[in-house]
Chains A and B, each alone.
Chain A
Amino acid sequence: MAAVQDTAVVVGAGAKGRPAAQGRWASTWAKHGAGYMFLLPWLIGFFGLTLGPAIASLYLSFTSFDLIRAPEWVGTANYVRIATADPKFAAAMRVTFLYVVLSVPFKLSFALLVAILLDRGVRGLTFYRAIFYLPSLLGGSVAIAVLWRQLFAGDGLINSLLAQFGIEGPSWISHPNYAIWTLVVLSVWQFGSPMIIFLAGLRQIPTDMYEAASLDGASKFRQFYKITLPLLTPVIFFNAVVQTIDAFKAFTPAFIISGGTGGPINSTLFYTLYLYQEAFGNFRMGYASALAWILVLIIALFTAFSFLTSRYWVHYDD
């Protein structure tokens, strides 16, 4: 663009002149060099910490590797075992899918419901919004998982509350049928982020659409169904994809609540927890690498599927 000049008349002080550029190399450097200089940290990171390791883990997934001896090539044995002879993998898949299917719809429904209640003309909007958002901000921490573990323990707060109504609750976290539900409730409790995104989406809907509809005599429910919902579909879609991918990768709450075991009877064995156990508990690094690639495959398939089916229900009006 503008020629690089030696004379510097600049804002601030301490201008350094640059050596006069000469020759083809120098002019190429002047043109592209700066960009690559700025990009250098990221480039080193990309090759050294992302691309390199990704290729390495693809290779490791075809080996048996215990971190001490050199990796030993086993071909597709890891993948075959995952697909055919690993009950724990099957359990982890079941638990993870159950968690996704239960937590994401509930979470998004709450987020949407509360966003609509908050949308227009509510006094104290910022106050409510802040309160609903706080759990999302705190949710990833061990402290909250610890708290949850106590809330849903046999002698915990939830059962104390139920006892006041004369109901005797089970020991939620140590019952294979209920343990997953405590994690679902924890996830739903953190509906703040999608709620904020919904609120931003609702802001985009022009008020005059509603005015026109109510002049035509459309009931509020009909307005919601015919205007709000269709216009929000892109935001709903976005939230659904992000939250689902996130749910596939959930780790900390299950780890803390089950004490790292994924129990009782594998009922909270999230996929990532199983991967962690294989890699850093049993030091089966090759097998864990294969598990990681299966996770990528699942997430990629899900994402592709979402985008393909989105054509039929997501309404972009450009």
Chain B
Amino acid sequence: MTDAIMSSVTAPPSAPLGRRGPLGSVLVHAGLIAASIAMLYPLLWMISASVRPEDEIFASTSLWPSSIDVASYLRGWFGLDVSFGRFFWNSLVVAVLTVIGNVVACSLAAYAFARLRFAGRNFWFAIMLGTLMIPYHVTLIPQYVLFLNLGWVNTFLPLVVPKFLASDAFFIFLMVQFFRGIPRELDEAAMMDGCGPWRIYWKIMLPLSLPVLATAAIFSFIWTWDDFFGPLIYLNDMNTYTIQLGLRTFVDSSSTSDWGGLFAMSTLSLVPVFFFFLFFQRLLIEGIATTGMKR
């Protein structure tokens, strides 16, 4: 696949000057279209495999199924002892709670860092930035022991409670950057009128920060939806499985027997992420461009 991209862009990259010649522009588009096809081909093939009759999945490399057959979706949905409806519901609960936790806890902390004056603010801010650098593997085992002793294993609490304690410090950083851009005159005017910090946070900061709150919410949702490691460690009972764990179990149980069902459920598991991509693409891309997120 990479070779396909390589060979399609054999022309040296023309320097980013405003204008390219007509030939250069045709070449560039040809290269970009070829690359786009190569990028999307696996995804499209998977979607198309999910609606093919079982015996046709590996018969062809084309993207058009000869006939549409949704049997794979039914087989996959009920393919395990617990239905995929349950897994989707679990994922949704964890993701929604995570979004709420992140938006509430991180915006509280970000407001303190961006606007309030208190002893030790800069010290704590530096510490907060420091926590961004530490791989979570360092705290993984003691956290597991802690949650095990609290009796939280096999519940969603280990996945959700940390978010209400602003454990995703990255979002604090994101919000601090945004809050600092809101004119201070607004806070000061409100203070003159006798507003306390809570009201300023609630009535001024949050309403003016909807773009950054939305960005944090969407990324929280997608990352949580896709998270595999956390659920893998804390959820052992199939009734508590998230969609990612459900898929993994399906791979292991059906090893190569029911590819159709597996692709059908894989396709469904990508739908929510795809939805956010379609409707909030601009926010996602701006979020990445301004903060340099990795995913």
Contacts and interface: CB of A to CB of B under 8 A. Distances in A.
Interface of A: 1-2, 4-12, 15, 18, 31-36, 38-46, 48-50, 52-54, 56-57, 60, 67, 106, 110, 113-114, 116-123, 128-144, 146-151, 155, 157-158, 160-161, 164, 185, 188-190, 193, 196-197, 199-200, 202, 205, 207, 210-211, 214, 220-221, 223-224, 228, 238-239, 242-243, 245-246, 248-249, 251-252, 255-256, 259, 272, 275-276, 279-280, 285, 288-289, 291-293, 295-296, 299, 303
Contacts of A224: 13, 15-16
B248 interface: yes
B17 A131 contact: no
A18 B199 CA distance: 12
A191 to B, nearest CB: 9
A137 B2 contact: no
Interface stretch (B92-100, B124-132, B208-216): B124-132
A248 B137 CA distance: 12
28 contacts: A9-B194, A31-B118, A34-B118, A35-B112, A45-B162, A46-B131, A49-B139, A49-B162, A50-B134, A50-B167, A54-B134, A114-B32, A117-B9, A117-B13, A133-B284, A137-B222, A138-B274, A141-B228, A141-B270, A142-B269, A143-B267, A144-B270, A147-B42, A160-B61, A210-B15, A220-B17, A255-B228, A279-B144
SS of B interface (majority): helix
A292 B137 contact: yes
B31 interface: yes
A150 to B, nearest CB: 7
Contacts of A246: 294
Contacts of B118: 31-36
Given A45-B167, A130-B281, A255-B228, A53 B139 contact: yes
A53 B143 contact: yes
A137 B29 CA distance: 24
B74 interface: no
A44 B266 CA distance: 38
Interface in B99-158: 104-106, 108-109, 111-113, 116-119, 121, 124, 127-128, 131, 133-135, 137-146, 148
Most chain B CB inside 10 Å of its own CB: which residue of A35, A143, A193, A288: A143
B23 interface: no
A137 B295 contact: yes
B1 A185 contact: yes
Contacts of B141: 53, 57, 60, 279, 285, 288-289, 292
B197 A34 contact: yes
Contacts of B233: 280
Most chain B CB inside 10 Å of its own CB: which residue of A117, A189, A251: A117
Interface of B: 1-2, 5, 9, 12-20, 25, 28-29, 31-32, 35-36, 39-40, 42-43, 45-46, 58, 61, 104-106, 108-109, 111-113, 116-119, 121, 124, 127-128, 131, 133-135, 137-146, 148, 162, 164-167, 169, 172, 188, 190-199, 201, 203-204, 222-223, 225-229, 232-233, 244, 247-248, 251-252, 259, 262-263, 265-267, 269-270, 273-274, 277, 281, 284-285, 288-290, 292-295
